[in-house]
Copies of this chain bind each other. A is one copy, B any other.
Amino acid sequence: MEKKNPDLCKVDNTLHILIGKWKPLIIMHLMFGGTKRFSDLQRALTGITTKTLTTQLRELEEQEIILRVVYPVVPPRVEYSITEYGMTLQPVLHLMHEWGNAHLERQLNKDQSTFNNNQ
């Protein structure tokens, strides 16, 4: 019973956190796969470069979605994990996942009917 005024739209605040080619995947990995090291993540996200992984992780850390823990050992050991606050994103991501999945199937059906029409 509010939000009549689109100028008060706060969707962009959430979008800003999620925008980044690998961010949703990173969050999902830490959210469901638990704590992971830098190299674990890089292995999981096939194709990502160290530079890009670093910046995406730093941005998520800055937003307090993930936690970065550095162990002062040689060789270096850095562990990333989801924060309690980051976990609050779960319902949002879940819904986006559901809608995205439905959207994908819709696209496939459309292609299918196009295919049939062209027979």
Contacts and interface: CB of A to CB of B under 8 A. Distances in A.
Contacts of A98: 10
Given A13-B103, A25-B9, A97 B3 contact: yes
Contacts of A95: 91-92, 95
Interface stretch (A14-22, A47-55, A69-77, A111-119): A14-22
Interface string A16-46: 0111000011001100110000000000100
Nearest to A22: B12
A117 to B, nearest CB: 17
Contacts of A93: 11
A99 B89 contact: yes
